[in-house]
Amino acid sequence: MTEVLSPVLTYFSIILGWGYFAAWSLSFYPQVIENWWRKSVVGLSFDFLTLNIIGHTSYLVFNSVMFWSDDVFEQYKKQHGNPNATNPVELNDVVFSIHAVTLTAFTIFQTMIYERGGQTISVLARGISLALLLAINIGVFLVLGHRIEWVNFLQELGYIKLVITTIKYIPPAWINYKRKLTIGWSIGNIILDFTGGSLSVLQMVVNGINSGDWSPFYGDFVKTGLGFLSMGFDIIFIVQHYILYRKNNKKYHEELKAKQTEKPILQVIFESVWMKITKRKKIEEEEHLEEGEKTPFINGNDSAYYYYNTHETQITTKESINNSSENQL
């Protein structure tokens, strides 16, 4: 078991881990919400989504196997020559990967149902994706043929994730540059992604100080590289959104709000139900008017009956009914 310098730093590391897990996990939702609100995915790079689903799936396999397989972890410690090495993958890494694959797949689904403006996956992105998938398949065959160990295959997946992270942000940055807009590419996603990257790197620093083991910095090169690369691209997008294309974004939002006629979904549901109720009531009243029939309404007091008549309205009690009967006799 690895000795630690301070239990306080251990708990602080756990907090940082769940902190970047929360930030990175929440970073998927602003894009999903913006797509739903606009009913459009124009401005969202399909190349980015294609590479992203491959990258997150690779990262999911990397984290899951490294975290749950004792044999692979032993291979990892042997490879780094440190029998007391700590596992570079935490539970929150695994949970994040599962969540990331799910939300990325859902975002891809949105591109199939919302306005896309003629966007497609570029030939270059398709070629890169096929090359990466081919590399993964080759790695699987090498593992099954006992040519390499599982830890080597996981390293390959890590490299693939790192390559994808390096190039996947280029298409959306280029689209923003061509359109001179960042609309369609959620800035909320970027801010949360930057927060997650910062907390991820900080956690590894705290772990290194606390355990004296700095191998995760180069042992989990994926996590380290992802943190710095994500923050670098996030800075580019922040500059595009808040400085370079700020006026264009503001003008677009003003025009969109002026044309926006869609009501909140809860309001739409309420008004729809209310219209059905009132319409049904109106139809019943019209039927009563046509037939001239009497409709009784009974209040809480059994001694009184109320009648609605199309020609006249009268309120009678049991006593008045009895008196009328006696007079007739």
User: 130-142, pLDDT tens digit by residue?
Assistant: 999 999 999 999 9
Q: How confident is the model at residue 111 (pLDDT cuts 50, 70, 90)?
A: very high
Give the pLDDT mean for 192-200. 88
CA 192 to each of CA 6, 119, 265, 280, 328: distance values in angstroms, whole numbers, following the listed order = 29, 26, 26, 49, 87
Look at residues 146, 145, 235 and name the one whose alpha carbon lies nearest to residue 194. Answer: 235
pLDDT surpassing 90 at residue 113: yes
Residue-level pLDDT at 223? 62
Weakest-pLDDT range from 96-100, 126-130, 206-210, 310-314: 310-314
pLDDT tens-digit profile of 266-308?
A: 555 566 666 666 666 666 656 555 555 444 433 444 433 333 3
CA 220/CA 87 separation, integer angstroms: 9
pLDDT tens-digit profile of 150-191?
A: 888 888 898 898 889 889 999 999 999 999 999 999 999 999
Residue-level pLDDT at 78? 79
Token pair belonging to 205 = 């620093």
Q: Return the axis-axis angle of helices 123-144 and 46-68, rounded to nearest 10°.
A: 20
Look at residues 21, 25, 41, 24 and name the one whose alpha carbon lies nearest to residue 33. Answer: 41
What's phi and psi for 41, nearest 5 deg? -120, 15
Residue-level pLDDT at 287? 59
Q: Which residue has the tokens 């570079």?
A: 88
Give the pLDDT mean for 237-254. 90
Token pair belonging to 148 = 């390499």
Residue-level pLDDT at 207? 82
What mean pLDDT, rounded, does the chain reach?
79
* E strand spans, the chain: 295-297, 304-308, 313-317
